[in-house]
Amino acid sequence: MSGDRARSGCASGMRLREKRMRRDGNVQNAFTVTRLIAVAGASLTLALGISACQVVAGFSQPSLVRVIDASYIAPAVNIYVEKTIFASNIGEGYISNYGTTAPSQAAQVTVTAATGGATLVSATVTLTAGAQHSVFLTDNGSTPTLYSVTVLEDAKTAAASGHSSFRFLNQAPRTGALDVYMVPSGTTLANTIPLCTAIAVGQTCGYVSFASQTVTMVITPAGLTTPKYTSTPLALTGGEVRTVVMVDSQLTSNPPVNVVIADDVN
Protein backbone atom coordinates (compact mmCIF):
# COMPACT_ATOMS: atom_id res chain seq x y z
CA MET A 1 0.00 0.00 0.00
CA SER A 2 2.76 2.39 0.98
CA GLY A 3 4.45 1.61 -2.36
CA ASP A 4 1.27 2.60 -4.21
CA ARG A 5 1.11 5.88 -2.33
CA ALA A 6 4.76 6.56 -3.11
CA ARG A 7 4.26 5.88 -6.81
CA SER A 8 1.14 8.08 -6.82
CA GLY A 9 3.02 10.90 -5.11
CA CYS A 10 5.90 10.60 -7.53
CA ALA A 11 3.53 10.78 -10.50
CA SER A 12 1.79 13.80 -9.00
CA GLY A 13 5.14 15.51 -8.48
CA MET A 14 6.16 14.89 -12.08
CA ARG A 15 2.86 16.28 -13.35
CA LEU A 16 3.32 19.39 -11.16
CA ARG A 17 6.85 19.93 -12.46
CA GLU A 18 5.63 19.55 -16.05
CA LYS A 19 2.94 22.18 -15.46
CA ARG A 20 5.48 24.54 -13.96
CA MET A 21 7.86 23.99 -16.88
CA ARG A 22 5.09 24.69 -19.41
CA ARG A 23 4.05 27.79 -17.45
CA ASP A 24 7.64 29.04 -17.21
CA GLY A 25 8.17 28.30 -20.91
CA ASN A 26 5.05 30.25 -21.86
CA VAL A 27 6.14 33.16 -19.71
CA GLN A 28 9.63 33.07 -21.24
CA ASN A 29 8.19 32.86 -24.78
CA ALA A 30 5.80 35.72 -24.09
CA PHE A 31 8.68 37.80 -22.72
CA THR A 32 10.80 36.99 -25.77
CA VAL A 33 8.01 37.97 -28.22
CA THR A 34 7.30 41.16 -26.26
CA ARG A 35 10.98 42.06 -26.25
CA LEU A 36 11.28 41.40 -30.01
CA ILE A 37 8.26 43.60 -30.70
CA ALA A 38 9.75 46.36 -28.56
CA VAL A 39 13.13 46.10 -30.30
CA ALA A 40 11.50 46.09 -33.75
CA GLY A 41 9.40 49.11 -32.83
CA ALA A 42 12.44 50.97 -31.57
CA SER A 43 14.36 50.10 -34.76
CA LEU A 44 11.48 51.31 -36.94
CA THR A 45 11.23 54.54 -34.98
CA LEU A 46 14.97 55.08 -35.33
CA ALA A 47 14.86 54.37 -39.07
CA LEU A 48 11.99 56.77 -39.58
CA GLY A 49 13.80 59.34 -37.52
CA ILE A 50 16.94 58.97 -39.62
CA SER A 51 14.89 59.22 -42.81
CA ALA A 52 13.16 62.34 -41.53
CA CYS A 53 16.51 63.83 -40.56
CA GLN A 54 17.81 63.16 -44.07
CA VAL A 55 14.88 65.06 -45.58
CA VAL A 56 15.00 67.90 -43.08
CA ALA A 57 18.78 68.20 -43.16
CA GLY A 58 18.64 70.68 -46.03
CA PHE A 59 18.66 68.35 -49.04
CA SER A 60 17.52 70.25 -52.13
CA GLN A 61 16.95 68.90 -55.61
CA PRO A 62 19.20 70.52 -58.22
CA SER A 63 17.86 72.56 -61.09
CA LEU A 64 18.26 71.08 -64.59
CA VAL A 65 19.44 73.55 -67.23
CA ARG A 66 20.16 73.36 -70.95
CA VAL A 67 21.27 76.13 -73.30
CA ILE A 68 19.97 76.90 -76.80
CA ASP A 69 21.74 79.26 -79.19
CA ALA A 70 18.95 80.81 -81.27
CA SER A 71 21.00 83.80 -82.40
CA TYR A 72 21.71 84.14 -86.11
CA ILE A 73 23.85 87.25 -85.50
CA ALA A 74 26.08 86.42 -82.54
CA PRO A 75 29.59 85.03 -83.10
CA ALA A 76 30.63 81.71 -81.60
CA VAL A 77 29.92 81.96 -77.88
CA ASN A 78 30.47 80.39 -74.47
CA ILE A 79 27.51 80.25 -72.09
CA TYR A 80 27.98 80.16 -68.32
CA VAL A 81 25.42 79.50 -65.58
CA GLU A 82 26.60 80.56 -62.13
CA LYS A 83 30.22 80.70 -63.44
CA THR A 84 30.03 77.10 -64.68
CA ILE A 85 30.39 76.72 -68.44
CA PHE A 86 27.41 74.88 -69.95
CA ALA A 87 28.41 75.23 -73.63
CA SER A 88 31.58 76.39 -75.35
CA ASN A 89 32.31 77.66 -78.86
CA ILE A 90 28.73 77.16 -80.05
CA GLY A 91 26.79 78.75 -82.90
CA GLU A 92 23.19 79.21 -83.97
CA GLY A 93 20.97 76.16 -83.73
CA TYR A 94 22.97 74.51 -80.95
CA ILE A 95 20.96 72.71 -78.24
CA SER A 96 22.81 71.24 -75.24
CA ASN A 97 21.83 68.34 -73.02
CA TYR A 98 20.52 69.14 -69.55
CA GLY A 99 23.10 69.76 -66.83
CA THR A 100 22.62 70.39 -63.12
CA THR A 101 23.14 73.49 -61.03
CA ALA A 102 22.06 74.65 -57.60
CA PRO A 103 18.59 76.27 -57.53
CA SER A 104 18.66 80.02 -57.09
CA GLN A 105 16.36 83.04 -57.16
CA ALA A 106 19.20 85.08 -58.67
CA ALA A 107 21.32 82.81 -60.85
CA GLN A 108 23.74 84.58 -63.15
CA VAL A 109 23.75 83.63 -66.85
CA THR A 110 26.65 85.07 -68.87
CA VAL A 111 27.29 84.80 -72.60
CA THR A 112 30.79 85.59 -73.80
CA ALA A 113 32.48 85.56 -77.19
CA ALA A 114 34.37 82.31 -77.67
CA THR A 115 37.28 84.31 -79.08
CA GLY A 116 38.54 87.03 -76.79
CA GLY A 117 36.05 86.34 -73.98
CA ALA A 118 34.17 89.65 -74.16
CA THR A 119 30.77 89.55 -72.42
CA LEU A 120 27.98 89.86 -74.99
CA VAL A 121 25.01 89.70 -72.61
CA SER A 122 24.23 88.63 -69.05
CA ALA A 123 21.05 88.19 -67.04
CA THR A 124 19.89 87.27 -63.56
CA VAL A 125 17.30 84.48 -63.65
CA THR A 126 15.35 82.18 -61.34
CA LEU A 127 16.21 78.47 -61.41
CA THR A 128 13.76 76.33 -59.45
CA ALA A 129 14.69 73.19 -57.51
CA GLY A 130 13.65 70.02 -59.33
CA ALA A 131 12.59 71.92 -62.47
CA GLN A 132 13.96 71.85 -66.02
CA HIS A 133 14.93 75.14 -67.67
CA SER A 134 16.01 76.28 -71.13
CA VAL A 135 18.33 79.27 -71.45
CA PHE A 136 17.99 80.87 -74.90
CA LEU A 137 20.43 83.26 -76.56
CA THR A 138 18.46 85.33 -79.08
CA ASP A 139 18.82 88.48 -81.20
CA ASN A 140 16.96 91.75 -80.87
CA GLY A 141 16.56 91.70 -84.66
CA SER A 142 17.83 95.19 -85.47
CA THR A 143 21.28 95.74 -83.96
CA PRO A 144 24.02 93.18 -84.68
CA THR A 145 25.66 93.71 -81.30
CA LEU A 146 22.63 93.43 -79.02
CA TYR A 147 21.42 90.06 -77.74
CA SER A 148 18.89 88.75 -75.24
CA VAL A 149 18.79 85.92 -72.72
CA THR A 150 15.40 84.27 -72.19
CA VAL A 151 14.80 81.51 -69.62
CA LEU A 152 11.75 79.21 -69.68
CA GLU A 153 10.72 76.31 -67.44
CA ASP A 154 10.30 73.13 -69.48
CA ALA A 155 7.85 70.26 -69.25
CA LYS A 156 9.21 67.14 -67.53
CA THR A 157 6.73 64.46 -68.61
CA ALA A 158 5.74 63.12 -72.01
CA ALA A 159 2.51 64.17 -73.67
CA ALA A 160 -0.54 61.94 -73.27
CA SER A 161 -0.71 58.78 -75.33
CA GLY A 162 -1.62 59.59 -78.93
CA HIS A 163 -0.94 63.30 -78.43
CA SER A 164 1.94 65.70 -79.03
CA SER A 165 2.65 68.92 -77.14
CA PHE A 166 4.46 71.91 -78.69
CA ARG A 167 5.50 75.28 -77.28
CA PHE A 168 6.42 78.28 -79.48
CA LEU A 169 8.70 81.22 -78.67
CA ASN A 170 8.70 84.21 -81.04
CA GLN A 171 12.19 85.69 -81.37
CA ALA A 172 11.69 87.17 -84.85
CA PRO A 173 11.38 90.94 -84.31
CA ARG A 174 11.86 91.87 -87.97
CA THR A 175 8.92 89.65 -88.90
CA GLY A 176 6.67 90.62 -85.98
CA ALA A 177 3.72 88.76 -84.45
CA LEU A 178 3.22 85.24 -85.79
CA ASP A 179 0.55 82.57 -86.28
CA VAL A 180 1.47 78.87 -86.21
CA TYR A 181 -0.32 76.06 -88.06
CA MET A 182 0.14 72.32 -87.88
CA VAL A 183 -1.27 71.23 -91.24
CA PRO A 184 -2.28 67.53 -91.30
CA SER A 185 -1.06 65.41 -94.18
CA GLY A 186 -3.49 65.68 -97.10
CA THR A 187 -4.96 68.97 -95.82
CA THR A 188 -4.39 72.52 -97.06
CA LEU A 189 -3.44 75.58 -95.03
CA ALA A 190 -6.77 77.17 -95.94
CA ASN A 191 -8.64 74.32 -94.20
CA THR A 192 -6.44 74.32 -91.08
CA ILE A 193 -7.12 76.12 -87.82
CA PRO A 194 -4.04 77.89 -86.39
CA LEU A 195 -2.59 76.24 -83.31
CA CYS A 196 -1.39 79.60 -81.94
CA THR A 197 -2.29 83.10 -83.08
CA ALA A 198 -0.66 86.52 -82.83
CA ILE A 199 2.37 85.44 -80.79
CA ALA A 200 4.07 88.74 -80.03
CA VAL A 201 7.83 89.15 -80.26
CA GLY A 202 9.42 87.85 -77.07
CA GLN A 203 6.24 85.98 -76.07
CA THR A 204 5.47 82.27 -75.83
CA CYS A 205 2.51 80.12 -76.84
CA GLY A 206 2.22 76.68 -75.31
CA TYR A 207 2.39 74.00 -74.35
CA VAL A 208 -0.41 73.16 -76.83
CA SER A 209 -1.51 69.51 -77.11
CA PHE A 210 -3.00 68.01 -80.28
CA ALA A 211 -3.66 64.56 -81.75
CA SER A 212 -0.47 63.00 -83.07
CA GLN A 213 -0.19 62.50 -86.82
CA THR A 214 2.01 63.57 -89.72
CA VAL A 215 1.86 67.37 -89.97
CA THR A 216 3.64 70.23 -91.68
CA MET A 217 4.42 73.25 -89.50
CA VAL A 218 3.60 76.52 -91.23
CA ILE A 219 4.38 79.94 -89.73
CA THR A 220 2.70 83.09 -91.05
CA PRO A 221 2.50 86.76 -90.05
CA ALA A 222 -0.40 87.26 -87.62
CA GLY A 223 -3.75 87.30 -89.43
CA LEU A 224 -2.28 86.41 -92.84
CA THR A 225 -1.99 83.12 -94.72
CA THR A 226 1.27 83.84 -96.55
CA PRO A 227 3.78 81.29 -95.24
CA LYS A 228 7.02 82.70 -93.85
CA TYR A 229 8.25 79.24 -92.88
CA THR A 230 7.20 75.74 -93.97
CA SER A 231 8.74 72.65 -92.39
CA THR A 232 9.31 69.25 -93.86
CA PRO A 233 6.60 66.75 -92.76
CA LEU A 234 6.82 65.89 -89.05
CA ALA A 235 5.81 62.28 -88.34
CA LEU A 236 4.43 62.52 -84.79
CA THR A 237 3.53 59.24 -83.09
CA GLY A 238 2.58 60.41 -79.58
CA GLY A 239 4.31 61.57 -76.42
CA GLU A 240 6.44 64.24 -78.10
CA VAL A 241 7.08 67.45 -76.15
CA ARG A 242 8.98 70.12 -78.08
CA THR A 243 9.91 73.78 -77.97
CA VAL A 244 10.06 75.72 -81.25
CA VAL A 245 12.06 78.97 -81.27
CA MET A 246 11.10 81.14 -84.25
CA VAL A 247 13.84 83.54 -85.35
CA ASP A 248 14.48 85.99 -88.19
CA SER A 249 16.54 84.61 -91.05
CA GLN A 250 20.04 86.09 -91.12
CA LEU A 251 20.74 85.96 -94.86
CA THR A 252 17.52 85.67 -96.83
CA SER A 253 14.04 87.11 -96.99
CA ASN A 254 12.53 83.96 -98.49
CA PRO A 255 11.78 82.35 -96.13
CA PRO A 256 12.23 85.21 -93.65
CA VAL A 257 11.78 82.96 -90.60
CA ASN A 258 13.84 80.01 -89.39
CA VAL A 259 13.20 77.71 -86.45
CA VAL A 260 15.17 75.89 -83.78
CA ILE A 261 13.35 72.81 -82.42
CA ALA A 262 14.27 71.26 -79.06
CA ASP A 263 13.01 67.96 -77.58
CA ASP A 264 11.89 68.79 -74.05
CA VAL A 265 11.20 65.18 -73.03
CA ASN A 266 13.30 62.38 -74.50
Its pTM stands at 0.74
Q: Where are the alpha helices (DSSP H) in the chain?
A: 2-56
CATH C-level class of 61-154: mainly beta
Phi, psi dihedrals of residue 219, rounded to the nearest 5°: -115, 130
The CA distances from residue 96 to 18, 69, 78, 92, 257, in Å, are 80, 9, 12, 12, 22
Q: Look at the domain 158-266 and name its fold.
A: Immunoglobulin-like (2.60.40)
Rg (CA), the chain: 35
How far is the C-alpha of 225 from the C-alpha of 59, rounded, in Å? 52
pLDDT per position in the chain (266 positions), as tens? 444 444 444 445 455 455 554 555 544 444 444 454 444 444 444 444 444 444 445 567 999 999 999 998 899 999 999 999 999 999 999 999 999 999 999 999 999 999 999 999 999 999 999 999 999 999 876 676 789 999 999 999 999 999 999 999 999 988 899 999 999 999 999 999 999 999 999 999 999 999 999 999 999 999 999 999 999 999 999 999 999 999 988 777 778 899 999 999 96
